[in-house]
Structure 1
Amino acid sequence: MESRNSSVESLEHSPPNVPEEEHVDSNEGVVQIHQRSDPLDTSDNTRASSINSSQESLKSTSMQVYASMSEKNAGTKSGNAVKTHSVSAVPLPNTRWTHRQWIKFLSLHWLSAYRVLIGLTFIINIVVFAVLYKRLSLAAPLIATAANIFAAVFVRQEDLINLTFAFVAKMPSNLPFWFARTISDLHHYGGFHIGCAISALFWYTYFVYRNTVFFLGNSDAGTATASMWVDIIACYSFLFSIFLVCVTAHPRLRVKFHNTFEHTHRFGGWTALIVLWIHAGVSSKSPENPDMHANPAVWLLAATTFIIILPWTRMRRVPITTELVSSREVKLSFPFKHMPYTSTMRFSRSPLMEWHAFATIPNPDGESAYIVISQAGDWTKAIIQNPPTHIWIRKPAAMNFLAFSPLFNSLLLVATGAGIGPMLSLLRSPAIANMKKQGRTIKVMWCVYQPDAPHWQFVQDIIRNVDPEPRIFDSKQGRPDVAGETTYLMQEAQIEAVMVVSNPKVTREVVEGVKAWGGAAYGAVFDS
């Protein structure tokens, strides 16, 4: 069984022979010569002496993220020197990857936990269909459809999320590294949601085929009843509804037509549920099917309906206080007693039409909380330019992937821009305070425009309370290679796991880059 120490050793590598190089310093605008040095070669290096030979294949020049770094004193805040960092912009040499490196890259890129869960859900449904194919009654595919829809809805229910996340987060930190790394991928539960929804579409397509054959047989014999006509019309209405919901949920379409996706997902889903109730009622009248009270599909639909209605009973309209952080960011404070740390809550100005999820940060008084919103679309732009006095919130707040931080012995938190918001909740949490007491390493990397500006002072204070020497980049001087800097710092500080909150591109690059070196990395999920 792999120990936690061996997980650190798996990040070891032999430093490459890197020649002198020149680059344009982003602070001064002059060409400077820097001799690169490997941080692992210093005399105070405390890494484990043994090197995991399985990582040797990863020594591709294209994966070398060592960068010469210069620091400047950008002023003082709260008695601490605020340092910003600049990095070499010279591109890494283009080298040919080995077959093993290509396989590893493809597995990291395509075989994510999200996609694995989708695949496993498909496999389970295919096995069930193959085993029961010859014994399936007319109502059986409808029951399977109802079961998959129930699972798809239930897996995203906030109470279930909080229960499972809290259970995982309370696991001991001395777990084997491979287990902690695997179980922390639980936040990809959206893959199960997608897998069940698409499986429901396949099951229902088969049901429509069987039901159409049954209807045509009765129609030819002149025995088709009015309820059969209603049922067959409802069949194709539901098929169209669920097909539309699944198609518009494709990642590319939902990003390009987000409002259309959200409206289709909500209203199309409700329509599909109503149609399923019609099916359950009609099918229960068939002599070969059980009565309605004994029909499993009816009970599954009842449970699904309850889960869908429940959030609408938990909505509240609350007053908000607006504080402009910058021209593109705003801080919204609202009353909420005992807001849990590392949680996400949904907000809306028109509850029937759209909801937006933001990570919440509890205030020290325990009576209120706040969110940091960055301009990223029409909704956020309207909030920043014309802040409302009240906003709708939906309880409860759901725990996010940052709750799994205590599972690791050392941690690097990476954020860009307002992505620091979710990190603030974690940095102020009792979990981080406990990790610090235990002597565990916690580092912070943040890239933002003018981090030393007065409006970011509250962020600087929270960060430096945990990490007195964070790595902060001023994007005004040029955007760094966040993925490269993350991997560099991870190896320099012997970090076990990385948590990142950024845009989809940077998040993917950081997660894949860290995992390629054998570390654990997690970021927000944008596909579900």
Structure 2
Amino acid sequence: MIESSLPPVMEIQQVSPAHTRTPSGTSMETANTMEQTSRGVQTHSRSTSTASDSSYASDTSVSPLVVREKRESYQSVWSDIEAQKHEIDDFSRKRFGFVRYTVLTVYRRLFSLAFIGNAIAFIVLMTKGTAPLDLVNASAVNLAVCGLCRHPLVINALFLTFGSVPRSTPMRLRRLACKIFHLGGVHSGTGVASCVWYIGFAALYTYHFEASPASIAVLVLVWFVLLLLLAIIAVAHPAFRIKRHDYFELTHRFSNWAILALFWVLIFLLANEEPSMSTFLVNLPAFWILILLTVATIHPWLLLRRVPVKAEPLSAHAVRLHFSHATVRFGQGISVARHPLADWHSFASFTDQFDTPDTKFSCLVSKAGDWTRKAIADPPTHLWKRGVPTYGFGYVFRMFERIIVVTTGSGIGPCLSFIEDARRPAMRVVWQTKSPLKTYGQRTLDLVNRMDADPVVIDTSVSGRVDMLPIVLKLYKDFDAQAVCVISNPHMTRSLVYGLETRGIAAYGPIFDS
């Protein structure tokens, strides 16, 4: 924004991709008219209230408006919202909402279904008596499900399937299909279950152990694999994973590879004790599952490439990374790293066709850790990528007609993916961030304008952080929305999604294991 010696003000932006400006008198007159129609809800001026379909998102005929108000006026806006809270928040609360949306989340329900089902089967088999190899097979089946839940091709197939649910489908079914990003519950549930089955195998093998050179080698391998499985589960706990993400990543990856290699050795050692090795292997389900897991593990790394990156510094807090090695579609993201064996980071992507056609897509990176800080201070010229672009959280919103997009800070990056989709829902955008123009640049604001011609932009450098729930509830009513998409930091996402879901509103936000 233009530097000024005036007291702190509320800066309101509505920008057009053409970067044209209208006379200030016209802008203020228009803004005053808009304020009368939306006072107490929006921190920006409205030029229209007819955003009934997605076509308005790409309108480039709207002239930019810049409105400045004193802090006192800004605070009065939020006072009006406080006064209207009872009128705005007249949604009935869900019975047992706290339990349903905190303790019994879809992620936990999927985890429980996968784990408890296996636990019951384990208890039944151990009670009736079973052979050690049956436990190996059961462990292998769970490992296969666990691993495939994280394979890019499987993830893409699931998102394409669930995301293709027609908009004419009953709302209840669409709301359920949207929960596909909770698939991590199956991943973790079967992962822990595989360890339980393997513990049973290790216990039985040790109980029936008869010393010989081959059996001693098998026994050592059995317990070493078990230690690796326990290490993977331990570092995957959210408390450790959040605080020591790099250690989690390295332990998870290399322990998985080690288990895969040791399982091959273990199976062949067991087969060597049989009269016919080939017959034993062909009739052992774990052998075929091991082949599948090996192929699935190797596949993404066969696509490992070092690709050029064009960095566009936006500010001391953000950089936009442009890529040309592939074409991405709406809702897809990529994994990149400076070193191919460590420190991989996933970013949502969005098309460059509207403002930088010399590249294909880009990712918005803001300061949030060591890797991102380095990317901003020392922008990369090349990065490693692996696998294929993968669909993520945002793709499921295609099944709704009208949505509210709520984000903070660099969360606007994943949201920008919506601008590419021809079938995107009509939407309103609420973006709370510090100094949006200064931090993310005019071109980012232009792209936001393509999603919503009247985005609600809350500049926290002026207002401080505000409670976004009343604003979202008001927009949800006025816009007659069907769902709310929330992309923010974990605490804000959980809080806002919980507040909306307990009011019966379909609200979704990425979880730690999306």
TM-score, normalised relative to structure 1: 0.79
Displacement of 1:190:
0.9
State how 1:392-471 maps to structure 2 within 5 Å. Answer: 392-432=384-424, 435=425, 441-453=426-438, 455-471=440-456
Structure 1 equivalent of residue 323 of structure 2: 334
Q: What is the one-letter code of the residue matched to 1:113?
A: V
Q: Secondary structure at the match of 2:379?
A: coil
Is 1:171 matched up with 2:171? Answer: no
Q: Secondary structure at the match of 2:168?
A: coil
CA deviation vs aligned residue, 1:329-370 (integer Å, no higher than 9, x gap):
000111134221211110000111221000011221485211
Q: Secondary structure at the match of 1:498?
A: strand
Structure 2 equivalent of residue 104 of structure 1: 97
Structure 1 equivalent of residue 466 of structure 2: 480
**Which residue of 90, 97, 113 corresponds with 1:120?**
113
TM-score, normalised relative to structure 2: 0.81
CA deviation vs aligned residue, 1:236-275 (integer Å, no higher than 9, x gap):
1111111011001100111111111111111111122222
State how 1:110-509 maps to structure 2 within 5 Å. Answer: 110-133=103-126, 134-215=128-209, 218=210, 224-287=211-274, 291-364=280-353, 365=357, 368-432=360-424, 435=425, 441-453=426-438, 455-477=440-462, 478-509=464-495
Separation (CA, whole Å) in 2 of partners of 1:171 and 1:444: 24
Q: Secondary structure at the match of 1:396?
A: coil
1:339–1:366 Cα contact (<8 Å) kept: no
State how 1:51-70 maps to structure 2 within 5 Å. Answer: 68-69=40-41
Displacement of 1:171:
1.9
> Quick one: structure 1 residues 111 and 313, their matched pair in 2 at CA, closer, same or farther if it must change by over 3 Å?
same
Separation (CA, whole Å) in 1 of partners of 2:403 and 2:94: 26
Separation (CA, whole Å) in 1 of partners of 2:42 and 2:402: 25
Q: What is the one-letter code of the residue matched to 2:166?
A: P
Displacement of 1:451:
2.5
Displacement of 1:490:
1.8
Structure 1 equivalent of residue 29 of structure 2: none
1:71–1:83 Cα contact (<8 Å) kept: no
1:325–1:455 Cα contact (<8 Å) kept: yes
Runs of at least 5 residues in structure 2 that lack an aligned partner in the other structure: 1-6, 11-36, 47-60, 69-73, 87-92
CA RMSD of aligned residues (A): 2.9
Q: Secondary structure at the match of 1:291?
A: helix
Q: Secondary structure at the match of 1:518?
A: coil
1:486–1:510 Cα contact (<8 Å) kept: no
Displacement of 1:483:
3.6
Moved more, 137-146 or 492-501: 492-501
Displacement of 1:512:
0.9
Displacement of 1:382:
0.8
1:410–1:497 Cα contact (<8 Å) kept: yes
Separation (CA, whole Å) in 2 of partners of 1:428 and 1:273: 40
1:412–1:445 Cα contact (<8 Å) kept: yes
**Which residue of 73, 77, 81 corresponds with 2:65?**
81
Structure 2 equivalent of residue 56 of structure 1: none
Separation (CA, whole Å) in 1 of partners of 2:67 and 2:507: 26
> Quick one: structure 1 residues 265 and 70, their matched pair in 2 at CA, closer, same or farther if it must change by over 3 Å?
closer
Separation (CA, whole Å) in 2 of partners of 1:454 and 1:111: 38
Displacement of 1:464:
2.2
1:338–1:367 Cα contact (<8 Å) kept: no
Separation (CA, whole Å) in 1 of partners of 2:228 and 2:285: 22
Equivalent residues, number: 447
Runs of at least 5 residues in structure 1 that lack an aligned partner in the other structure: 1-24, 29-44, 46-66, 94-99, 219-223, 436-440
Displacement of 1:106:
2.2
Displacement of 1:293:
2.7
Percent of aligned positions that are identical: 29
